[in-house]
Amino acid sequence: MEWLGHAKTTFTHSPNPLSLTKKDGTSTDLVSICREATPPCRLNPLLFNGHLQTMWTAIKNHGPSIYYKRKVFENEDPNFKGSFAVDFVVSPFPETDESLPPRTVHFTEDEFENFGLTDTRPMLVVLHGLSGGSHEIYLRQVLAPLVTVEGDRQWAACVVNSRGCAMHKITTDVLYNARATWDCRQTVKWLRRTFPNRPLYGIGFSLGANILTNYVGEEGSSCMLRAAVVCSSPWNLDVGNMALQRTWLGREVYSKTMGTSMKKLIEIHYDELSKGSKLDFAKIRQVNYLHEFDREVQGSTWGYATEGAYYRDASSVDSLLAVRIPLFAISAKDDPIAADEALPYNEMKQTKYGVLCTTTQGGHLSWFEIGGTRWHARPAVNFLNKMAFEVELNAPGNLNGSVKVELDDDTRFKPMNRKWAL
């Protein structure tokens, strides 16, 4: 039935999944929650393969209207100096700001000083894909059913924009990469202080999914997020890079498009980057593909000898083994950008904290249904609502900061012992 858009859904997980208790006292587990959250995958039959699904993202529809107010933070860690922009979901407003994405304005000083609230709404921290931002439709389709619902199931949310993205002007030569967890970490800490009663959750898309998994792995059992979702994550960047270069479409369409978008970001921020960075702008302007961009930019910025060294070090596939919160991963097997061969099938079988849901169709951050909605929003929203409102994460025997995990003590392999040290 796949030729009618009826994609097959498969779940990969540990034979001993994480045990959970529902708020009504009944027992369940992480796999059951993920299965219950995942509806049948019924996609637009005219977009019958991953290329058509992915390329359809270039057809821009308006998507749901989400309004943001922006706060620019300065990173507190001297190793990662510079500013980053966080867009907070707010009620609709009439103002406009041409210097920012649509439906986005800056907080006034008075507004932000009084922004700390004591409500108990769950709050979602969102990380977007490569060169994207809070304006992206794929993330707004997840946010809309969470933040616009009325009653006691309404969510709060914010989007952490990667430096230089979403019309944010960078202030130093410290850029972001696939391991750029520092701005996310500071945001989560700030949220914990500012909204002490709000449980925090995370969702990441594409490169943002890779960053989010790295962050959760780095935090381990101290992670302040209660659960997370990752959509279309590239997982193993080195394998994904080789898959892209293997085909004409991968190299000349996807890699070239992503490389061009990153070159544009560099040019937008040339004035600041040219002051003290090690970047060779003449070489950067000559690159065509994403791997060439990463060779010239990420290698020079972070000291990686080759783009392969960067990809291996920044990949989140090993970070998965250090995750200590429920993590639901959603990917399409026909994704032409985040290749199926890079997905962590074996790693998912080794951790009770993760479940991987794969669909046979869907492309990259696409999953277009008839009418233009995107299927991935359904399981993501359902999972987050179940974890926030149906599961008692703080119940005895469930998750808390003192969970002891045998893997940490009984193996010499430490997933977060990376070559590039924090």
Active site members: 206, 335, 364
Q: What is the mean pLDDT of residues 131-141?
A: 96
Output the CA–CA distances (angstroms, integers) from residue 258 to 135, 136, 211, 338, 398, in the order listed.
18, 15, 17, 13, 41
Partners of 355 in the beta sheet? 13, 328
In a domain, 122, yes or no: yes
In a domain, 413, yes or no: no
Instruction: Determine the Cα–Cα distance for residues 374 and 367; give it in Å rounded to an integer.
Output: 5
In a domain, 415, yes or no: no
Q: Is the pLDDT of residue 207 over 70?
A: yes
Instruction: Determine the Cα–Cα distance for residues 233 and 339; give it in Å rounded to an integer.
Output: 9
In a domain, 402, yes or no: no
Radius of gyration of the chain (CA): 20
Instruction: Let me know the angle formed at the C-alpha of 136 by 205 and 261, rounded to the nearest 5 degrees.
Output: 85
Output the CA–CA distances (angstroms, integers) from residue 187 to 68, 140, 161, 170, 233, in the order listed.
16, 20, 11, 17, 21
In a domain, 185, yes or no: yes
Judgement on whether residues 222 and 349 belong to the same structural domain of the protein: yes
β-pair type (123-127, 327-332): unpaired
Domain end call among 283, 314, 345: 314
Q: What is the mean pLDDT of the chain?
A: 92
Judgement on whether residues 139 and 230 belong to the same structural domain of the protein: yes
**Residue 387, burial from CB neighbour count under 10 angstroms (0-12, 13-18, 19+):** buried
| pLDDT tens-digit readout, 79-128 | 899 999 999 999 999 989 999 999 999 999 889 988 877 889 999 999 99
Instruction: Determine the Cα–Cα distance for residues 48 and 69; give it in Å rounded to an integer.
Output: 38
Q: What's the number of CA atoms in the CB half-sphere (13 Å) around residue 395? A: 15
Judgement on whether residues 295 and 222 belong to the same structural domain of the protein: no
| pLDDT tens-digit readout, 240-251 | 999 999 999 999
Judgement on whether residues 244 and 370 belong to the same structural domain of the protein: no
Range of the domain at 273: 237-314
pLDDT of residue 413: 73
| pLDDT tens-digit readout, 344-356 | 999 999 999 999 9
Judgement on whether residues 101 and 191 belong to the same structural domain of the protein: yes
Neighbouring residues of 404: CB distance < 8 A, sequence distance ≥ 6: none
Judgement on whether residues 243 and 354 belong to the same structural domain of the protein: no
Judgement on whether residues 171 and 107 belong to the same structural domain of the protein: yes
Q: Is the pLDDT of residue 45 over 90?
A: yes
Instruction: Determine the Cα–Cα distance for residues 143 and 249; give it in Å rounded to an integer.
Output: 32
| pLDDT tens-digit readout, 362-399 | 999 999 999 999 999 999 999 999 999 999 987 444 45
In a domain, 411, yes or no: no
Q: Is the pLDDT of residue 63 over 60?
A: yes
pLDDT of residue 404: 38
Q: In CATH, what number is assigned to the domain containing residue 160?
A: 3.40.50.1820
Q: Per the structure, how many domains does the chain have? A: 2
In a domain, 406, yes or no: no
Judgement on whether residues 145 and 201 belong to the same structural domain of the protein: yes
Instruction: Determine the Cα–Cα distance for residues 346 and 136; give it in Å rounded to an integer.
Output: 31
| pLDDT tens-digit readout, 74-86 | 999 998 999 999 9
C-beta neighbour count of 397 within 10 angstroms: 11
Quickly state the pLDDT bin for 421 (edges 50, 70, 90).
low
Unique residue bearing structure tokens 């359902």: 382
Nearest to 121 by CA among 211, 199, 63: 199
Which amino acid is present at 355?
V
Judgement on whether residues 280 and 338 belong to the same structural domain of the protein: no
Judgement on whether residues 144 and 220 belong to the same structural domain of the protein: yes
In a domain, 321, yes or no: no
Quickly state the pLDDT bin for 228 (edges 50, 70, 90).
very high
Q: What is the mean pLDDT of residues 294-314?
A: 94
Q: Is the pLDDT of residue 174 over 70?
A: yes
pLDDT of residue 325: 97
Judged by average pLDDT, the poorest of 272-276, 291-295, 389-393 is 272-276
- SS3 category, 413: coil
Q: Tell me if 290 sits within 8 A of 258, measured CB to CB.
A: yes
Judgement on whether residues 91 and 224 belong to the same structural domain of the protein: yes
Q: What is the DSSP string of 248-290?
A: HHIIIIIIHHHHHHHHHHHHHTHHHHTTT----HHHHHH--SH
Unique residue bearing structure tokens 């004409």: 248
Output the CA–CA distances (angstroms, integers) from residue 41 to 4, 50, 357, 368, 408, in the order listed.
11, 14, 11, 10, 37
Judgement on whether residues 109 and 243 belong to the same structural domain of the protein: no
